[in-house]
Amino acid sequence: MALRTANIIGSGPNGLAAAITLAQRGVAVTVYERNARIGGACSTGEVTLLGFHHDLGSSVYPLGVCSPFFTTLPLAEHGLRWIEPEAPLAHPLDDGSALTLEHSLEGTAEQLGAHDARAWRTLLASTVRDWTKVVEDAMRPLLSVPRHPAALATFGVAAMMPAQALARSVFQGDRARTLFAGCAAHSVLPLTRMASSAPGLLLAAAAHATGWPIVAGGAQALSAALASYLKSLGGTILCEAEVNDLSQLESSDVTLFDTSVEALTRIAGDTLSASYVARLKSFRRGPGIFKLDWALSAPIPWRSAECGRAATVHLGGSLEEIAASEAAMFYGRSCEKPFVLLVQPSLFDTSRAPEGKHTAWAYCHVPNGSDVDMTAVIEAQVERFAPGFREVVLARRASNAAALEAWNPNLVGGDVSGGAMTLSGLIARPTMRLYRTSSARVYLCSSSTPPGGGVHGMCGHGAALAVLEDFTL
């Protein structure tokens, strides 16, 4: 059957990536977005005070700047400009110092002592050297045949280990262990879980290979560039077009869902088999987040000036503290000293706030669906490393898991990864069908498909390739 038309539900980066992939092959594509603005969690808004522009979801894009799909697109011609901070990451410590993940492998290693400097180089050098090959394979379905088996195998041996075990076995000192633990916590898994090392290794290598950039003007500018390119290919985007049933859509050959599996089940309804729906219900949700957005009168007063060189700051005093935090949230418990991910984009992009003022945001992981207010706990963690922080806060907005889901229904229970990033949850994501469903005309293209969470467009691109494989153009 020839493929001529496609509908996409949702205009997040994966929905737009799927639409672009199909439009590049001459398919007439229409994207339906329930909100007044495109982008989903890749968007920007004034949510505290006028003139303070906050990224509402994602903000830093180590996997976006190196995405095997995004890098093929002329996004600079459509307004995208990456801003690379002086250092990709800072991680302050209780003694008043801070570790930095530098662009240079050597610059990072020299902070760690002789033994751990050698260990850092040994652990990451081959991945950095083969970065393009590793990323190309790591951002495809886990069970697909690797295109660069030697490069992936070298990465994969360490990546499959639990992060806590890897850190303890490779590094002797607390500094290296802490720096790696913060990177590994992006897995949103207990650091004792198999493959929790993979995100840590990938993100650390990304810092040395392609960086951890933000987008000039905010996350919305990335979505706008993708949308602009799609329109140049003839694609259509309809905003304020909420879809509750497939009958609302114009007739098309296929429909792709950049949504949660719950929304897929609800909207696609009787087009899906009962057995497939049952398998979707067994797909495990990941933990949620509690997020704070701040309008600031001045930069965050970090005790260590090194923290001002990075847009991204990890707050967690040690490997043990970070591991305890991530285990607690995964198993449904609260934590008084949570690992906090903080971003301060206005230090590097003055368009984010009025002159002399700043924006920042932070979140910690919480049990899925948690309604616990973590404001005081998160701000205590910031004060721990930046005494006087609360004195520069002009306004704040707090978003618990329920508020995040109300804003974006794809963030079920506050889960920003589209489902747990466990090893089994990556192999069968959300089922062994991956992008395909039980209906030949319905596909899933959200972060609930491989390779999972993050802003890189590879879920949407992979789903569109599956569509093109199934249809004859």
- Reported pTM: 0.97
How far apart (Å, rounded) are the C-alpha atoms in residues 269 and 33? 19
pLDDT tens digits, one per residue of 411-433: 999 999 999 999 998 899 999 99
Gyration radius from the chain CA atoms: 21
pLDDT tens digits, one per residue of 364-382: 999 999 999 999 999 999 9
How far apart (Å, rounded) are the C-alpha atoms in residues 141 and 159? 15
Res 63: pLDDT: 97
Burial of 262 (0-12, 13-18, 19+ CB in 10 A): middle
**Cβ-Cβ contacts under 8 Å for 33 (sequence gap 6 or more):** 10, 11, 237, 238, 239, 240, 241
| Pair 325, 188: CB distance under 8 Å | no
Percent of the chain with pLDDT over 90: 95
DSSP 410-433: TSGGG-SSSS---HHHHHSSSSTT
Alpha helices by DSSP H, listed for 353-419, are 375-385, 401-407
Place 440 in a pLDDT band, splitting at 50, 70 and 90. very high
Cα-based distances in Å from 333 to 288, 330, 336, 356, 420: 12, 7, 10, 40, 16
**Cβ-Cβ contacts under 8 Å for 457 (sequence gap 6 or more):** 13, 14, 16, 17, 64, 67, 69, 70, 226
What the block records as the tokens of 59 is 């903000």
Residue 306: strand, helix, or coil: helix
Cα-based distances in Å from 350 to 53, 310, 374, 472: 10, 15, 29, 49
pLDDT above 80 (res 161)? yes
Average pLDDT of the chain, as a whole number? 96
pLDDT above 70 (res 469)? yes
How far apart (Å, rounded) are the C-alpha atoms in residues 186 and 195? 12
In this prediction, residues 279-301 reach a mean pLDDT of: 96
| Pair 292, 360: CB distance under 8 Å | no
Place 445 in a pLDDT band, splitting at 50, 70 and 90. very high
pLDDT tens digits, one per residue of 182-198: 999 999 999 999 999 99
pLDDT tens digits, one per residue of 323-362: 999 999 999 988 889 999 999 999 999 999 999 999 999 9
Q: Which amino acid is at 419?
A: G
Place 269 in a pLDDT band, splitting at 50, 70 and 90. confident
Strand-pairing partners, residue 291, are 363, 399
Strand-pairing partners, residue 89, are 101, 312
Cα-based distances in Å from 102 to 105, 332, 360: 7, 34, 21
| Pair 377, 338: CB distance under 8 Å | yes
Cα-based distances in Å from 222 to 58, 80, 286, 296, 343: 11, 6, 25, 24, 17
In this prediction, residues 279-298 reach a mean pLDDT of: 96
| Pair 67, 43: CB distance under 8 Å | no
In this prediction, residues 440-446 reach a mean pLDDT of: 98
Burial of 172 (0-12, 13-18, 19+ CB in 10 A): middle
Q: Which amino acid is at 40?
A: G
Place 400 in a pLDDT band, splitting at 50, 70 and 90. very high
pLDDT above 70 (res 473)? no
How far apart (Å, rounded) are the C-alpha atoms in residues 367 and 350? 35
Residue 215: strand, helix, or coil: strand
pLDDT tens digits, one per residue of 315-324: 999 999 999 9
Strand-pairing partners, residue 360, are 294
Task: Determine the distance from the C-alpha atom of residue 114 to the mean position of all C-alpha atoms in its chain, rounded to a whole number.
Answer: 33
| Pair 455, 222: CB distance under 8 Å | yes
In this prediction, residues 463-469 reach a mean pLDDT of: 97
Strand-pairing partners, residue 40, are none
pLDDT tens digits, one per residue of 29-84: 999 999 999 999 999 999 999 999 999 999 999 999 999 999 999 999 999 999 99
